[in-house]
């Protein structure tokens, strides 16, 4: 699946403002990761190729998976897996998503999960997708956390700054 970057850009470019900042009656709008992830899943699935062995799954519960228990990956639930279900040879991309307001503790947890899935579960790629108006600031914070997470150099940071704008790979 050589066109994943294009698919991710197109999908994020179709996400409206109410999925990035959820309106809440009587309160300021708020970032809600699940709302964003569900819409991203919807946008990706709308144009998912039928002729690929890779399937898009959200938050697959790996509890009890005997092969993943050896590396403690059975306790993790990444936001998205792009893989061939039923085959450990088809582990393609693992994605974690966070709003730009995430804490450093949450960033470290996500980076650890992504590194674990690349290093131990043998996913080919790992993407940390940060969304929201301050996505670049959080990406910079995430980059400083890389030194604290062994194997995090394989993780790509992507930023999705605003509604109807495409996410981009962060290269700073």
CA-based max dimension of the chain: 49
H-only helix segments in the chain: 4-13, 17-20, 33-46, 66-69, 104-119, 135-145
pLDDT tens string, the chain, 172 residues long: the values are: 789 999 999 999 999 999 999 999 999 999 999 999 999 999 999 999 999 999 998 866 555 555 554 555 556 678 998 988 877 778 899 999 999 999 999 999 999 899 988 888 888 999 999 999 999 999 999 999 988 888 888 899 999 999 999 999 998 6
Read off the pTM: 0.92
**Under a CB-based contact definition with an 8 Å cutoff, are residues 134 and 101 in contact?**
yes
Q: 3-state DSSP call for residue 117?
A: helix
């Amino acid at each position: 699946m050589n066109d994943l970057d294009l698919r991710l850009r197109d999908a994020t470019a179709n996400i409206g403002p109410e999925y990035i900042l959820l309106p809440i009656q009587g309160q300021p709008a708020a970032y809600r990761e699940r709302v964003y992830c569900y819409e991203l899943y919807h946008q990706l699935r709308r144009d998912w190729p039928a002729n690929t062995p890779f399937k898009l799954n959200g938050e697959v519960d790996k509890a009890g998976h005997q092969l993943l228990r050896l590396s403690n990956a059975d306790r993790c639930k990444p936001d998205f897996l792009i893989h061939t279900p039923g085959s450990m040879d088809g582990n393609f991309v693992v994605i974690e998503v966070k709003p730009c307001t995430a804490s450093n503790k949450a960033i470290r947890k996500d980076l650890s999960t992504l590194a674990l899935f690349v290093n131990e579960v043998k996913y080919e790629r790992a993407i940390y997708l940060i969304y929201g108006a301050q996505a670049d600031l959080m990406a910079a914070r995430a980059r400083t956390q890389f030194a604290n997470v062994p194997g995090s150099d394989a993780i790509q940071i992507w930023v999705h700054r605003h509604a109807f704008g495409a996410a981009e790979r962060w290269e700073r």
